[in-house]
Structure 1
Amino acid sequence: MRRILCALAVILAPLAAAAFPVEEEHVFPGTGTGSELWILSTTDTEYFAPLLTAFQARHPSVTIRYTVTGSASVYTAVADEGVACDLAISSAMDLQMKLANDGLALPHASTAQLPDWAQWQDRIFGFAQEPVVLVTSRKALEGLALPRTRRDLIDLLRDHPGRFEGRIGTYDPLQSGAGYLFATQEARQSDSFWRLAEVMGANRPRLYASTKPMLDDLESGSLALAYNVLGSYAATRAAHDPDMALIEFEDFTLTLLRTALIPKGAQNPELAGMFIDFLLSPEGRRLSGQQGGLPPVNEAALVQTPRLRPIRLDPGLLVYLDRIKRRAFLEEWAAAVKQP
């Protein structure tokens, strides 16, 4: 019992010292006295487990600790708390870019062939791409046409306020790093962003910090639609719920990259680099798409589907992280969405 308690103390000590909220914590024990790989991630364990177990099959002595938290918390843990995780995985590409740009990510010489827009200076690596989508309840929209463009959605919400009041879900960019990224990138791409924000605001939307509770509420019937949802999570739910309709807007559909980097304070940077190489390998790509539900980076798919607009990994992502610009954007967003 004493040995068990000591082992638990070793596992939990870094988490106890950290201030970030832990949504999930899973330890995959190795077979021997090998090193430990600690991954701090925004991706739910069920999507990443096939990759973790396959990597561990190659390196059975390695213990893997997989900790899930929010995208803003991943950034804060690395940048402000100095958490000594070995890998930081996030859907908030702008916050990952800031970590790397601020010198908080170690370089890794990967041999994987990635498009220029899916990596940055051997410090950030995109390993999965997915659309940011609208998910609706077919029952809630009964008798109405499914919106195919943002203009369609604006018209739908404006013309039927009684049906959608209090039943729209979307990210709160104050709580979610990914939500802030989606909002700022959409504002850059489309003049209709602010009009849509105002129409949503008139319907008293419900604001969320992550995709999963949005989909839970959509499934329960308390929401009629969820806007700017991660495509991988939405596709998994829609495959088992015929009431859910997943919509990629025809005017344009933002496409994000899930990215990985090795924090400057990593305890096992070489092991972290090995895991990145595995993620980007043919086997890792296959497992990611077929078993993990996370489509690997595929430039050809983007060329074949022009409506998909990839968010590029470049310093342009830092524009809206400027404190003045961030404050101004959030104030304008709050005025539109949080109406009296």
Structure 2
Amino acid sequence: MTHRPLSRRAALCQLGGLAAAPALAQPADELLDYAPRARPPEGYPAAYATTVRAAEDEGRLSIHSTTDERVAAPLVADFRRLYPRIAVAYEDLGSTELYHRFIAENQLGREAADVLWSSAMDHMVALATAGHALAYASPEQAHLPAWAQWQDRLWATTYEPVVFAHHKPSLPEGEVPRSHAALARWLAGAQGGAVSYDIQKSGVGYFLAAQDAAASEATFWATAQALGAGRARLLLNTDAMVRQIADGRARLGLNLLGAYTVAQARERPALGVVFPEDYTLVTSRVLLINSRAAHPNAARLWLDYLLSRRGQTVMATAARLYALREDATGETTGAALRQLLGSRARPVALGPGLAAPLANAAYRDFILRWRAALGYWKG
């Protein structure tokens, strides 16, 4: 997500405009709101009408997300076309801020967001295993791969590659590393010009580093040492890395989220994208419904919308996020990505093991070793 000052930037989508005066026969509660009542999606159980009605009576949905507000805007707008009686307050936050803010709000007994939607999969698993996720069996579950949900409490919504990116004018195609081992060798021989995450400050960065270390510990720590030797710039998010690479301030970046990077490469000719050939991590933006949500039924509707074929198609077209469902259509679909990557795709499955690197001792030891490997880092 785009890094901005920590101001509150909730985007409250107000209810639809006034319609003609309702007929006298209309139910009394509907006289209070001129937006039409919504109907359950086609093919849903008849009982879902009760959930829709309850959500409309709640009238509001609050979402905290690592997905940029501008990227999520088409999804929010389409959701409100379906459910015009539900106002949506959407706030985009950094992954670390989202996680710690939610914990703090719960500890202080304050109302937290109804929905958390984050690329830091480990953070979401940690919250779910601590009892912060509401169990809900989505009607869309049958259309998802088995790894994409955990105990009806965590839901993967996207299928996103983790990529390298490079500045084409200063790093010709023949010199671009195309595997993690080749990346470590390139970094060791390069005289600077690399960007990566500051994993102590970026939750997504730490999560991806832990996944790479699990895939090949030797290669990961060789990469960390090479980043230090080359005095790599450490940033907070993919968007910041993309900007520096695209304008030539950096030659190479690693572990960028593919959805943002591929979208920017279409608009910035100097930006090249590499899907690593040894393995390409595939992560997801994971959603949980707050177990103490003030608007739990509206949260259920949002989850079901994101997982629906309609929502997934909006993801792959207007939002240009990689859709998870096989039947979604658009520019960025998981089906097309699976065909492109073949056996090198390494999806990160949801499960309690993802939270293990966040345990106090494991986290401390990993960060200390990372700082020592980089050597120069003094933050």
Aligned counterparts, 1:1-20, within 5 A? none
Letter in 1 for 2:189: D
Separation in structure 1 between the aligned mates of residue 8 and residue 185 of structure 2, nearest angstrom: 37
Look up the match of 2:329: none
Instruction: State percent identity of aligned pairs.
Output: 34
Inter-CA distance 22–189: structure 2 relative to 1 (3 Å threshold): farther
Asked if residue 131 in structure 1 is aligned to residue 161 in structure 2, the reply is yes
The residue aligned with 2:184 is: 154
Q: Secondary structure at the match of 2:12?
A: strand
C-alpha distance in 2 between matches for 1:186 and 1:76: 24
Q: CA deviation at 1:26?
A: 1.8
- The 10-residue stretch of structure 1 (104-113 or 174-183) with the greater mean CA deviation from structure 2: 104-113
Deviations 1:216-267 (A, max 9, x none): 2222221111211110110111001111110010011111110111112211
SS in structure 1 opposite 2:273? strand
The answer to whether the aligner puts 1:92 opposite 2:120 as a matched pair is yes
Q: Does 1:287 align with 2:314?
A: yes
TM, length-normalised to structure 1: 0.88
* Cα displacement string for residues 62-113 of structure 1 (whole angstroms, at most 9, x for unaligned residues): 1111100011111112222224211100000011001110001111120212
Instruction: Give the alignment partner of residue 168 of structure 1, picking from 182, 188, 194.
Output: 194
Contact 1:218 1:225 survives alignment (8 Å):
yes
Q: How far apart are the structure 2 equivalents of 1:338 and 1:279?
A: 43
Is residue 181 of structure 1 aligned with residue 207 of structure 2?
A: yes
- Contact map agreement 2:247 2:270 (CA 8 A) in 1: no
Structure 1 unmatched ranges of 5 or more: 1-19
Which stretch of structure 1 is more off in the superposition, 264-273 or 210-219? 210-219
* 2:365 corresponding residue in structure 1: 328
Which ranges in structure 2 are unaligned for 5 or more consecutive residues?
17-32, 35-55, 327-334
TM-score of the superposed pair, with normalisation by structure 2: 0.80
> How big is the shift at 1:25?
3.0
* d(CA) in 1 for partners of 2:79, 2:284: 21
Q: 1:22 offset after TM fit, Å?
A: 4.3
* Match runs of 1:211-226 below 5 Å: 211-226=238-253
Asked if the contact 2:86–2:298 (Cα under 8 Å) also holds between the matched residues in 1, the reply is no
**Are the aligned partners of 1:22 and 1:67 in contact in 2 as well (CA < 8 Å)?**
no
Q: Which amino acid aligns with 2:117?
A: I
Residue in structure 1 matched with residue 49 of structure 2 by the alignment: none
Native 8 Å contact 1:22 1:69 kept in 2: no
Which stretch shifts more, 121-130 or 77-86?
A: 77-86
- Point out the structure with the larger strand share: 1
Runs of 4+ with >6 A deviation: none
Q: Conserved in 2, the CA contact under 8 Å of 1:97 and 1:314?
A: yes
Deviation digits for residues 122-152 of structure 1, max 9, x if unmatched? Answer: 1111111101111100112148522111222
Residue 87 of structure 2 is aligned to residue 63 of structure 1: yes
Check the 8 A contact 1:79/1:104 in 2, yes or no: no
- State the alpha-carbon separation in 2 of the partners of residues 290 and 135 from structure 1: 22
Distance 2:174 2:347 in 1: 30
- Tell me if structure 2 keeps the 8 A contact 1:97–1:313: yes
RMSD across aligned C-alpha pairs, in angstroms?
Answer: 1.9
> Using the alignment, how far apart are the partners of 2:279 and 2:325 within structure 1?
18
Structure exhibiting the larger radius of gyration computed from Cα positions: 2
Q: Which residue identity lines up with residue 212 of structure 2 in the other structure?
A: E
Equivalent residue letter for 2:230: N
8 Å Cα contact 1:86/1:262 also seen in 2: yes
**Distance change in 2, residues 1:136/1:125 (3 Å):** same
Residue 310 in structure 1 maps to residue 336 in structure 2 = no
In 2, Cα distance between equivalents of 1:224 and 1:129: 27
Q: Give the secondary-structure state (helix, strand or coil) at the position aligned to 2:105.
A: coil
2-structure distance, mates of 1:338, 1:86: 41
**Shift in Å, 1:156:** 2.0
In structure 1, distance between residues paired with 2:71 and 2:269:
21
Residue aligning to 2:15: 30
